[in-house]
Chain A
Amino acid sequence: MATPRPRGSMLRWLALPIVLVPLGWLLFTGLGGDPRNLPSPLVGKPIPVFAGTTLEGDHFSSADLAGKPAVLNFWASYCIPSCVDEHPVLLDLAARHGDEVQVVGVLVSDTPDAARGFLDRYGQVSWPNLLNPDGSISIDYGVTGPPETFFVNADGVVVSRHIGPLTRELVDEGLAALGIAP
């Protein structure tokens, strides 16, 4: 080209690294994420306190957990098939580790009659199930929908959360995170 280039014309090439380097960093660090992995903001934090009446009419609160690891399971009788699928897994968990962890059920917008009907049909349980008619516990824990489960250590700190039905493997993983050998 015959015409002289304007001064500083080479500077415009700086635009290239300015755009590409951050973009490249962004694209490659974002890789490898699991889209279904939605960690709860509660993980690593003390559990929100709760209190309520159980299906049996007893009082139960987070204070009753003191010093013992716990598995908080949010469920409902209408949650079919997920809650039905995980019910034997929970029964198995209580049978194997009932003396090491306290299982607590919390009903998610369900009625006592419906919940009792569910347990009559799929198996009675030994652990307390909180009624929570106003859904306040679900809200405090940021539950997206039943079933959802929180693993809580002896200090009352949430160690992990699982959305969706539990399986034996998931339970063993959760227990291992609590320091309990499966």
Chain B
Amino acid sequence: MIPTLGHLAVLIGLASTLYAAGAFVIGGRSGDTAVLASARRAMYAAFAMVTIASLAMVASLLAHDFSVLYVARNNATTTPPFYSVISLWAALEGSILFWTLLATGWASLVLHRYRARLPALMPWVGATLALGAAFFFAVMAWPSDPFVRVTPIGLEGNGPNALLQNHPFMGLHPPLLYLGYTGMAVPFAFGMAALITRRTDEEWLAVVRRWTLVPWIFLTAGIVAGAWWSYAVLGWGGYWAWDPVENAALLPWLTATAFIHSSMVAERRGTLRIWTHALVIATFTLTLVGTFLTRSGVVNSVHAFTTSGIGAWFAWAILLTLGVALGLLIWRLPDLGDRRPPGAVVSRESAFLFNNVLFLAITFAILFGTLYPVVVEAATGARASVGAPWFNRVNAPIFVALLFLTGVGPALPWGGASWTTVRERFAIPILAGVGVVVAAWALGVRDAAPLGIFGLATFVLVVMGDEVVRGARSRARTRGEPAPVALLRLTTRNRRRYGGYLAHVGICVMSVAIAVSATLGSDQTATLRPGEAMSLGAYAITYHELVTEPLASDPRVIETRAELTLAGPQSGRIATALRDYPNSATAIATPVVRTALGEDLYVTLLSYNPATETATLRVFINPLVMWIWAGGAIVALGALFAIWPDRRRTAVEAALAGA
């Protein structure tokens, strides 16, 4: 009954989105507000339908209704309720359902908020969003039906993918990432609407900047949460492996970040306009490519859970999207010329331009590295792969250059900078950077990567600090405000600028943490008998015994724990385990991570021998790792600060709207 209801809701949702797309086009051409209102309501209805379908799926999972194939494959009678609920996105069909829920949610939100504004653009925004949603409904109606039934009904299901039920973070990482992915449809829809209606002026940019930043925050948080999950669950001591699916999330993030920067130039200076449109198109297309890579079995990945028939659907969707979008862009090229001559070589806009070129360079490098195996296979039939060292080597120099621009860009004036300005702005930051490098050298740091990043990060932070102090001081002087008030007003009245600075601070924190953790960590592997100890750095780890028992929360899972005592800067009893899941051929690691501000102690059980009671442990000291997560949080907070509604400006807008 409930699954049938879900299936029915999907079909009604498909019909509503198709109706909405048609009605938006008709209403857009005729300007008939009644038709447009009905199109909008059809999108709300689609959102309601996919909400019903998602609830039906969650109810089936919680009830362990194994008559539904998806439930039989991804749930078991012993699965705890929390993992039953999040199994909604544990496998392909459920993920598509969840994706559609979020996509129609974003669409409804945008259509509702702008129901009385931007009357020329909104019908085409609606039509684009409706067609996108219709595609996902169609995928659920045909190749990836989440409510397929099975007979005879099994008494027990397969249980969720072992990796996905091993850590509560699985409840956080995919929703954040999907919110980011699906939200990128909104700027794309505005971009298409602007091209269709030839309103490629600054109006759409102002709206789109905000609507790119919102999903961008989710995408950023989702990527960082994914790295954290990988660190906390996979037991290899690292957090980023350049896995194709990690790359697939990073690619739209890179182009969206490039867009956030280039749109500032397009808005302020009227240049880089073709470029800005192209980035919006690229970002949305890359979210589709990401899904294609994850879900079609094209590339090898820990994320490639299933191979399915949706590959061809996504391939056509990518080609169609790119074809139509590029076609529109080419058609409107004559409208998109620069509004004024490009700025001087040393100016803020050229810093932004370089920034964009570098972001694109990283995007292409990662896209190439990810697709290279597919190209080789298509051409020669052999499978190849590009390893993490290749990605690190290619991307590290580009990234260093980007970090440098992070410092340079904001301090340069628009239009062009004189030599005096350059000297005045950068002399102290450069000296500070060099000073920190020398100090780190004196303290014994010899690796080039952390030394370089320390210097650059200091440079960037001092430039921004100088900017803030300069601004606050001049405000305090001209308005006679006390320093803290001046600082507060300066930043809250220019949120975009100072939110951006805060995001850059987060990037600096992350860069330092990544460079240090990648080069200055240490690790050791040892096979111990009960009572024996091993040491690494200032830590001593004593192994006591192996304990094998079923998990309290899910007795089908057998956990083998090595009980340990830790002594050193952190101490206490810890246990690191391997878990055997009935549906997984390999045991899943459950590493123990002791986090401190300075370093993490990370112990993972590689293997054990029940006969001799020996345990093979791998211990890592990972310096500064928690600052990677903290840096990610600062980036997200900075962006949130930037888009936080300005009370004064909202009041003005409201007054204008009312007038």
Known: A29-B378, A38-B383. 13 other contacts (CB 8 A): A12-B333, A20-B319, A26-B371, A33-B377, A35-B307, A38-B300, A39-B382, A77-B611, A78-B609, A114-B611, A114-B612, A117-B612, A165-B585
Known contacts A12-B330, A24-B315, A35-B307: A30-B374 contact under CB 8 Å: yes
Q: A19-B322, A111-B612, A165-B585 are in contact. Are A27 and B315 (CB under 8 A)?
A: yes
Instruction: Please give, as numbers and ranges, the residues of chain A lying within 8 Å of B213 by CB-CB distance.
Output: none
Tell me how far the C-beta of A173 lies from the nearest C-beta in chain B, rounded to whole angstroms: 17
Q: B interface, by DSSP: helix, strand, loop or mixed?
A: mixed
B315 to chain A, nearest CB (A): 4
Minimum distance in angstroms from B205 CB to a CB of chain A: 23
**For A110, what are the chain B residues with a Cβ–Cβ distance below 8 Å?**
609
Asked if residues A23 and B299 are in contact (CB atoms below 8 Å), the reply is: no
User: Cβ of A135 < 8 Å from any Cβ of B?
Assistant: no
Known A-B contacts A81-B580, A164-B585; A9 and B318 likewise in contact (beta carbons under 8 Å)? no
Closest 6 pairs between A and B when the two form their complex, measured CB to CB: A117-B611, A29-B378, A27-B315, A35-B304, A30-B298, A78-B607
In the complex, what distance in Å separates the CA atom of A114 from the CA atom of B382?
39
Please state if B383 and A32 are interface contacts (CB–CB under 8 Å): no
Q: What chain B residues lie within 8 Å of A60 (beta carbons)?
A: none
Residues on the A chain within 8 Å of B377, using CB? 29-30, 33
B322 nearest CB across to chain A (Å): 6
Q: Check if A58 is an interface residue, CB within 8 A of chain B.
A: no
Spell out A's residues near B (CB within 8 Å). Answer: 1, 5-6, 9, 12-13, 15-16, 19-20, 23-39, 76-82, 109-111, 113-114, 117-118, 121, 145, 164-165
CA distance A34 to B306 in the complex (A): 9
Q: Which residues of B contact A79 (CB under 8 A)?
A: 607
Check: B375 CB closer than 8 A to any chain A CB.
yes
Decide yes or no: A23 and B319 within 8 Å by CB, A30-B298, A39-B383, A114-B612 being known contacts. Answer: yes
Q: CB of B297 within 8 A of chain A? A: yes
Tell me which of A1, A30, A36, A113 contacts B611 (CB under 8 A).
A113
> Across the interface, which residues of B come within 8 angstroms of A117, CB to CB?
609, 611-612
| Residues A31 and B319 in contact in the complex (CB < 8 Å), given A1-B334, A26-B375 | no
| Distance, CA A110 to CA B534, complexed state (A) | 19
In the complex, what residue of chain A is closest to B323 when comparing beta carbons?
Answer: A20
Contacts of B333 in A (CB 8 A): 9, 12
CA distance A78 to B585 in the complex (A): 13
Q: Give me the interface of B with A, judged by CB distance under 8 Å.
A: 292, 296-301, 304, 307, 311-312, 315, 318-319, 322-323, 326-327, 330, 333-334, 371, 374-375, 377-378, 382-383, 580, 585-587, 607-612, 614, 616
Choice from A23, A29, A35 contacting B322 with Cβ under 8 Å = A23
Q: A35, B297: Cβ atoms under 8 Å? A: yes
B residues in contact with A30, CB < 8 Å: 296, 298-299, 311, 374, 377-378
Chain A residue numbers with a CB within 8 Å of B330 are 12-13, 15-16
Residue of B whose beta carbon sits closest to that of A108: B607
Contact: B299 with A35, CB < 8 Å? yes
Please, how many angstroms separate the alpha-carbon atoms of A26 and B292 in the complex?
12
Chain B positions within 8 Å of A109 at CB level = 607
Task: Give me 9 A-to-B residue pairs in the complex whose CB atoms sit less than 8 angstroms apart, sorted by A's number.
Answer: A23-B322, A24-B319, A26-B378, A30-B296, A30-B299, A33-B377, A35-B307, A80-B610, A111-B614
Chain B hits for A34, CB < 8 A: 297, 307
- A24: shortest Cβ distance to chain B, in Å? 5
The residues of B that contact A9 with a CB separation of less than 8 Å are 333-334
Residues of A within 8 A of B374 (CB): 26, 29-30
Q: Is the interface of A mostly helix, strand, loop or mixed?
A: loop
**Chain B residues within an 8 Å CB radius of A76:** 607
Shortest C-beta distance, B382 to chain A (Å), equals 8
User: Are A16 and B611 also in contact (CB < 8 A) when A27-B318, A82-B586 are?
Assistant: no
How many angstroms between the C-alpha atoms of A171 and B321 in the bound complex?
46
* B-side contacts of A32, CB under 8 Å: 297, 311
Question: Which residues on the A side are within 8 Å of B312 (C-beta)?
Answer: 28, 31
What is the bound-complex CA distance between A22 and B238, given in angstroms? Answer: 35
By the criterion CB–CB under 8 Å, are A16 and B326 in contact? yes
The answer on a CB contact under 8 Å between A35 and B378 is no
Chain A, Cβ-Cβ closest to B305? A35
Residues in B whose Cβ lies below 8 Å from that of A12: 330, 333
Known: A1-B334, A15-B330. A23 touches B311 (CB 8 A): no
Please, which residue of chain B has its CB at the minimum distance from the CB of A76?
B607
Contacts of B326 in A (CB 8 A): 15-16, 19-20
A31, B607: Cβ atoms under 8 Å? no
Contacts of B611 in A (CB 8 A): 77, 113-114, 117-118, 121
B318 close to A23 (CB less than 8 A): yes
Also in contact, A25 and B378, with CB within 8 A (given A16-B323, A80-B580, A114-B609): yes
Q: Is the CB of A33 within 8 A of B298?
A: yes
Interfacial chain A residues near B315, Cβ < 8 Å:
24, 27-28, 31
User: In the complex, what's the smallest C-beta–C-beta distance from A89 to chain B, in angstroms?
Assistant: 14
What CA separation (Å) do A60 and B315 show in the bound complex?
A: 52
Is the beta-carbon distance between A113 and B334 smaller than 8 angstroms?
no
Q: Which residues of B contact A77 (CB under 8 A)?
A: 609, 611
Query: B462 → chain A, closest Cβ, in Å?
Result: 43
Known contacts A26-B371, A38-B383, A164-B585: A33-B297 contact under CB 8 Å: yes
List residues of chain B with CB within 8 A of the CB of A29.
374, 377-378
User: In the complex, how many angstroms separate the beta carbon of B504 from the nearest chain A beta carbon?
Assistant: 33
CB of A45, distance to nearest CB on chain B (Å): 13
Which residues of chain A come closer than 8 Å to B307, judged between CB atoms? 33-35
What residues of chain A lie closer than 8 Å to B299, measured between beta carbons? 30, 35
* Bound complex: CA A114 to CA B612 (Å): 7
Complex alpha-carbon distance, A54 and B225, angstroms: 47
- Which residues of A sit under 8 angstroms from B304, Cβ to Cβ? 35
Residue of B nearest to A163 (CB): B585
What's the minimum C-beta distance from A109 to chain B, rounded to whole angstroms?
8
A113 to chain B, nearest CB (A): 6
Q: Which residues in B have their C-beta under 8 angstroms from that of A145?
A: 586
Interface core residue of A37, A77, A78 (most chain B CB under 10 Å): A78
B298 partner residues in chain A, CB cutoff 8 A? 27, 30-31, 33
> Which B residues lie within 8 Å of A23 (CB)?
318-319, 322
Q: State in angstroms the CA–CA spacing of A31 and B375 once bound together.
A: 12
Inside 8 A of A27's CB, which chain B residues have their CB?
Answer: 292, 298, 315, 318-319
A82 touches B585 (CB 8 A): yes
- Chain B residue nearest to A147 in the complex (CB): B585
In the complex, how many angstroms separate the beta carbon of B409 from the nearest chain A beta carbon? 30
A20 B322 Cβ-Cβ under 8 A: yes
CA distance in complex: A110, B612 (Å): 12
Closest to A78 in B: B607
> With the chains together, A9 CA to B337 CA distance in Å?
14
Q: Which residue of B lies closest to A81 (CB)?
A: B580
Set of chain B residues within 8 Å of A36, measured between Cβ atoms: 300
Instruction: Give the shortest distance, in Å, between A50 (CB) and chain B (any CB).
Output: 22
Smallest CB separation, B550 vs chain A (Å): 14
A113-B585 in contact (CB<8A) = no
Min CB–CB distance A151 → chain B (angstroms): 19
Question: A79 to B301, alpha carbons, bound, how many Å?
Answer: 23
Contacts of A25 in B (CB 8 A): 378
A83: min CB distance to chain B, Å: 10
Chain A hits for B587, CB < 8 A: 80
CA distance A121 to B609 in the complex (A): 13
Q: How far is the CA of A7 from the CA of B312 in the complex (A)?
A: 39
Taking CB as reference atom, which chain B residue is nearest A79? B607
Chain A residues contacting B327 (CB-CB under 8 Å) are 16
- Once the chains bind, are B334 and A5 in contact (CB under 8 Å)? yes
